[in-house]
Amino acid sequence: MNEKAGLQALIRNFSIIAHIDHGKSTLADRLLEATGTVAVRDMEEQILDNMDLERERGITIKARAVRMNYRARDGKDYVFNLIDTPGHVDFNYEVSRSLNACEGALLVVDATQGIEAQTLANAYLAVDAGLEIVPVVNKIDLPSADVEGCRKEIEDIIGIPAEGCPAVSAKLGLNIEDVLEAVITDIPAPKGDPEAPLKALIFDSYYDSYLGVVVYIRVVDGVLRPGDRIRLMSSGARFDITAVGYMEPLGLSPSDSVSAGEVGYFTASIKTVTDTRVGDTVTLDCDPADTPLPGFQAVHPMVFAGIYPEDGARYGDLRDALEKLRLNDASLTFEPETSTALGFGFRCGFLGLLHMEIIEERLEREFNLDLITTAPSVIYEVTMRDGSERKIDNPSSFPAGDSVTEAREPIVKASIITPSEYVGGLMDLCQDRRGIFADMKYLDEKRVELHYELPLNEIIYDFFDALKSRSRGYASLDYEFSEYRPSKLVKLDFLLNGEQVDALSFIVHEEKAYARARKIAERLKENIPRQLFEIPIQAAIGSKIIARETVKALRKDVLAKCYGGDITRKKKLLEKQKEGKKKMRKLGSVQVSPEAFMAVLRLGDDDS
């Protein structure tokens, strides 16, 4: 025990934080390589990003942790625990928990890009968590790299010393040892009390079909051993530990114990990750700690959408797939939902748009499902005339106008960092999206940080794409939930051939209703194929029609020469047509292809 306590001096627990694409995962790979943790022949590009999706998108979706051994220039053998963090605003809470498991963080900044919104947001999170920050300037191999400029920016904007900080090329493996040495000299060793009652922070977990849930922890005080009975302090759930150990890059490595200062895992025959929420504190049932570690929050989904199988017969497959994903993703919620237009599906809750896209993509890719997804929505709060309160996550259940005394919508605090030449366009965008300007400051001569309060429902309506297109891809965005505020919200419905299509309804601010109604009606007109009868398209608020379009009746399809008796060709044409028809959804009496449906729902204001 004493021996282990002495070893804390040789442990360094740290994260890598960065804006997307600044090279976080590549740097992690180089560290693994340089410490000999992974033999070069075992190296796969970006080993910390296990999911294909992560590797393709170059983002880390879930936190991962890995243990490394490093013999430093001082001749001592150190243990490094690298805790990787997600790099996207949707996963801010997970980032903050991961940071709480560390004493320090490497802040990676791309020498060609400088500081971006997420660099700043993550750096502030790290500062809030009391972490020592070690700046690392990356991509120095690129011709446009400006190492000194980047260092100066870090000092000026974040306010931490950066002079002489490691300047590396993670891609080429340049100066990686400087980073390892800086970890030892600049990041403090953990100072836990191995004799105190157990306190361990859960910072990640995943479901394994053999082991049950594998829980990643940082032990702050005390020791955890197999056979211990533990208690999770926020949920009160109790489990018997079956195994503990360390995370090696290529798998779990069991040990006798995990003690104060260390990062490791445990298993306890836990069946779902929802029982082991990130941020919860693990303690011993027989000798519990007095107080849990600070900062636990139950994460709640912010964005909701209906997900339906394109082929109604695959409803069961979709349910199974969602259940499998939820085993590993406590922030995904879903419950069955029925739409007259789309049939049986699920109303799913996500942390944000990226989270939603990831889930959609995993459903399609890993489970081979073709999906129809409705427009994303946020949760609205409504006070009814009878005084009751309701939370609405599905536009089709939004109560009729006169039964509501007040409707409230979620507002976020958004921070946008952009080259100064795009400030005007972006302020117009925020204004147009009902943003309230908070402040603006120049980070340096060329870059500006804008703060706005924005309704979340405007952000999920194509805001990110609009931001990128108005800044030629240079602006970056970060936001956090602020509060619910009263708002003049209306429910916009669409009728095809006189019948309301529930899946097309959405909630919109009164001022935006007309423009958006016209836009969607136009888009419907463009995307609904002509049919044998004329199809009126109407947009309505309550019983008031505010926009209309018409799809003219089909009068002609192809009558090509059926040449030289090539009947097979003619038949193939009809087969193709039938194939397309089979996929069509009946929206009332109108046939609409899933592509058309999605095209309508995916539209944004900046779409041409």
Partner 1 sequence: MALTNAKPPIGIYIHIPFCRSKCEYCDFCSFVPNNISVIEHYTDSLILQMEDWSEKCKNRRVDSVYIGGGTPTYLDPKHICRILNALYDNFKVPRSAEISIECNPATADFKSLRKLRAAGINRLSIGLQSANENELRALGRTHTFKQFCETFENARRAGFDNINVDIMYGIPEQTEKSFAYTLSEVTKLSPEHISLYALKIEDGTPFALKKDSLRLPDDDAVYEMYVNAVKYLETRGYERYEISNFAKRGSACLHNLRYWHCDEYLGLGASASSYFDGERFTTTRDIRKYIDGIEIIDSDIDIVVERDRINSAASMDEYVMLGMRLEEGVSVKDFEERFGEPFADKYGKQLDEYVEDGFVIADGESYRFTTAGMFVSNYILAGILDLGQKD
Residues that bind partner 1 (CB under 8 A): 530-533, 552, 554-568, 570-571, 573-575, 577-579, 581-582
Q: What is the DSSP string of 61-88?
A: -S-EEEEEEEE-TTS-EEEEEEEE---S
Q: Which is nearer to partner 1, 542 or 580 (CB)?
A: 580
Least distance between partner 1 and beta carbon 565 (Å)? 5
Angle formed by the axes of helices 315-327 and 353-366, to 10°? 120
Least distance between partner 1 and beta carbon 574 (Å)? 5
Least distance between partner 1 and beta carbon 559 (Å)? 4
Least distance between partner 1 and beta carbon 592 (Å)? 15
Q: Which is nearer to partner 1, 544 or 582 (CB)?
A: 582
Least distance between partner 1 and beta carbon 566 (Å)? 4
- Measured over the CA atoms of residue 58, residue 159, residue 279 and residue 411, the dihedral's sign is negative
Q: Under DSSP, is residue 509 helix (H, G, I), strand (E, B) or coil?
A: strand
Q: Which is nearer to partner 1, 431 or 550 (CB)?
A: 550
Q: What does DSSP say about strands 303-309 and 343-350: parallel, antiparallel, or unpaired?
A: antiparallel
Q: Which residues pair with 232 in a beta bridge?
A: 282
Least distance between partner 1 and beta carbon 602 (Å)? 24
Q: Which is nearer to partner 1, 40 or 559 (CB)?
A: 559
Phi, psi angle pair for 380, to nearest 5°:
-105, 145
Least distance between partner 1 and beta carbon 311 (Å)? 12
Q: Which is nearer to partner 1, 446 or 571 (CB)?
A: 571
Q: Please tell me the distance from the alpha carbon of residue 527 to that of residue 578, in angstroms, as a whole number.
A: 18
Q: Which is nearer to partner 1, 295 or 536 (CB)?
A: 536
Cβ count within 10 A of residue 441:
10
Least distance between partner 1 and beta carbon 560 (Å)? 4
Contact 102, 74 (CB under 8 A): no
Q: Which is nearer to partner 1, 325 or 528 (CB)?
A: 528
Question: Burial code of 573-597, b = ≥16 C-beta within 10 A, e = fewer?
Answer: eeeeeeeeeeebbebbebbbbbebb
Contact 338, 281 (CB under 8 A): no
Q: Which is nearer to partner 1, 41 or 582 (CB)?
A: 582
Tokens for 274, please give them: 């929802």
Q: Please tell me the distance from the alpha carbon of residue 171 to that of residue 33, in angstroms, as a whole number.
A: 12
Task: Count how many residues are written for the chain.
Answer: 608
Q: What does DSSP say about strands 104-110 and 132-138: parallel, antiparallel, or unpaired?
A: parallel
Least distance between partner 1 and beta carbon 553 (Å)? 9
Q: Which residues pair with 345 in a beta bridge?
A: 337
Least distance between partner 1 and beta carbon 503 (Å)? 23
Least distance between partner 1 and beta carbon 528 (Å)? 14
Q: Which is nearer to partner 1, 544 or 578 (CB)?
A: 578
Least distance between partner 1 and beta carbon 576 (Å)? 8
DSSP state of 197: P
DSSP H/E element including 404: strand 404-419
Q: Which is nearer to partner 1, 1 or 562 (CB)?
A: 562
Give the list of residues 6+ apart from residue 205 with CB closer than 8 angstroms, or none. 213, 214, 215, 216, 273, 276, 278, 330
Least distance between partner 1 and beta carbon 371 (Å)? 22
Least distance between partner 1 and beta carbon 368 (Å)? 19
Q: Please tell me the distance from the alpha carbon of residue 416 to that of residue 539, in angstroms, as a whole number.
A: 34
Q: Which is nearer to partner 1, 280 or 549 (CB)?
A: 549
Q: Which is nearer to partner 1, 509 or 570 (CB)?
A: 570
Q: Please tell me the distance from the alpha carbon of residue 541 to that of residue 551, in angstroms, as a whole number.
A: 21
Q: What does DSSP say about strands 11-18 and 77-84: parallel, antiparallel, or unpaired?
A: parallel
Q: Which is nearer to partner 1, 400 or 567 (CB)?
A: 567
Q: Which is nearer to partner 1, 40 or 560 (CB)?
A: 560
Tokens for 607, please give them: 């779409």
Q: Please tell me the distance from the alpha carbon of residue 55 to that of residue 60, in angstroms, as a whole number.
A: 8
Contact 348, 331 (CB under 8 A): no
Phi, psi angle pair for 279, to nearest 5°:
100, -15
Give the N- to C-terminal CA distance of the chain in Å, as an integer: 67
Contact 538, 495 (CB under 8 A): yes
Which of 480, 351, 484, 461 has the alpha carbon at shortest distance from 409?
484
Tokens for 545, please give them: 């029609």
Tokens 């000299």 locate to 185
